[in-house]
Amino acid sequence: MSNASEITSAMKDVIASLKSRNETLSTAESITGGGLGYAITSVPGSSDIYVGGSIAYHSEVKQSQLGVSADLIKSKTVYSEEVAFEITTLENTNQHIGMGMIGELDEAQSEQDFLQFVKDRMKASSVRHSRKLNKPVKKVAVLGGSGGFAIGPAKASGADIFITADLKYHDFFSAENDIVVADIGHYESEQFTKKFLVDYLSKKISNFAIILSNTNTNPVKYL
């Protein structure tokens, strides 16, 4: 947001949305020093939804009030994504809404076996991945399409491996020996979505002819 009027406008929309769903809001801040709480309470009607907030500026307050691990702060610093994710859990109460999914294999596999399995099932010509950690793969995070922005949440979820696409060179460093990240290709990661769309639309619009195309529209070619 570039100015106060834009912030106020955004907060009005947030407050209206929460009111319509009969939901409340609380905040946990650090470097913003209460600025977020101020922006919320400066909007008329905010008292209907805003419960209150905590300003955990010092590391000891983050530990005592917000339950952040001292070891995590020491290893990742207070400015890291991992600390932010520990302050605010990412549990989605509406599991049918969101981007990406997390699941567990019935039986753990080696990293090599699982990567080969993904390559074969997704018909990927190649799989780029970060350094293998020599750990069994049990919990898997997936996000079709460009998913580099979700490496942090994937790590915070405790996933052993993150399958996505369009990773840049420096994205692989973001794994930080905490997770294996793998890029199977943009088209490859989304190729089966069209079947789900056809099934959904066929049920929703039964009197409309929907044809599933078998054309490969992947602009990326491999040697």
CATH 3.40.1390.30 domain residues, the chain: 101-190
Residue 201: what pLDDT?
86
Of all residues in the chain, what percent carry a pLDDT higher than 70?
Answer: 92
Tokens of 4: 């106060």
CATH 3.90.950.20 domain residues, the chain: 4-87
Using DSSP's 3-state secondary structure scheme, residue 76 falls into: helix
Which fold would CATH assign to domain 4-87?
A: Maf protein (3.90.950)
Residue 180 has pLDDT above 60, yes or no: yes
Which fold would CATH assign to domain 101-190?
A: 3.40.1390
Q: Please, which residues bridge with residue 14 across strands?
A: none
Residue 90 has pLDDT above 70, yes or no: no
Residue 159 has pLDDT above 50, yes or no: yes
Using DSSP's 3-state secondary structure scheme, residue 72 falls into: helix
Residue 2: what pLDDT?
47
Distance CA 178, CA 155 (A): 7
Residue 205: what pLDDT?
84
Express each pLDDT in 43-85 by its tens digit.
888 999 999 988 888 888 888 877 788 888 888 887 777 777 7
**What letter would DSSP give residue 148?**
G
Residue 124 has pLDDT above 90, yes or no: yes
Tokens of 199: 């099934």
Tokens of 79: 């400015």
Residue 56: what pLDDT?
85
Q: Max CA-CA distance within the chain?
A: 62
> What is the rounded end-to-end Cα distance, in angstroms, of the chain?
45
